[in-house]
């Protein structure tokens, strides 16, 4: 439904911070990280499914606009496929207009 208007998200990090969990030893962080490559799609899926009740194909359209990578070719591919909506949403933001996609309510109630 609103997948076409969803702006792509790129989580870029050469060190893999978004792809691993932090490691704690003796009460200290010995290796930092925040495993978001699984959490963000799940959070997004929850919000989208709660609000829109999409079929699998529509849900995949949302998730295909997200990338957790430092691979420039993957980033270019995602942005090239979806640059139109990103540019359109940026122009709305710069003009002080609201985005064309309604905000998602993700309350736990």
Q: Which residues pair with 9 in a beta bridge?
A: 66
Q: In 3-state terms, what secondary structure has residue 38?
A: helix
Q: Is residue 37 part of a domain?
A: yes
Q: Is residue 84 part of a domain?
A: yes
63: containing domain: 3-94
Q: Is residue 55 part of a domain?
A: yes
DSSP 28: E
Q: Model-level pTM?
A: 0.60
Helix (H) or strand (E) holding 48: helix 36-52
How many domains is the chain built from?
1
Q: Show pLDDT as tens, one digit a residue, over the chain (109 residues).
A: 577 777 788 888 888 888 889 999 999 999 888 888 888 888 888 877 777 777 888 888 888 888 888 899 998 898 888 777 777 767 767 776 655 555 544 444 4
Q: In 3-state terms, what secondary structure has residue 72?
A: helix
Q: Is residue 88 part of a domain?
A: yes
């Amino acid at each position: 439904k609103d997948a076409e208007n969803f702006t792509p998200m790129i989580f870029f990090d050469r060190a893999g911070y978004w792809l691993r969990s932090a490691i704690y030893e003796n009460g200290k962080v010995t290796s930092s990280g925040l495993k978001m490559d699984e959490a963000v799609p799940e959070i997004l899926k929850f919000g989208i499914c709660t609000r829109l009740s999409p079929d699998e194909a529509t849900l995949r359209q949302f998730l295909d606009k997200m990338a957790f990578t430092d691979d420039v070719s993957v980033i270019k591919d995602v942005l090239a496929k979806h640059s139109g909506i990103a540019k359109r949403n940026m122009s709305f933001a710069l003009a002080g207009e609201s985005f064309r996609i309604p905000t998602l309510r993700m309350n736990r109630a």
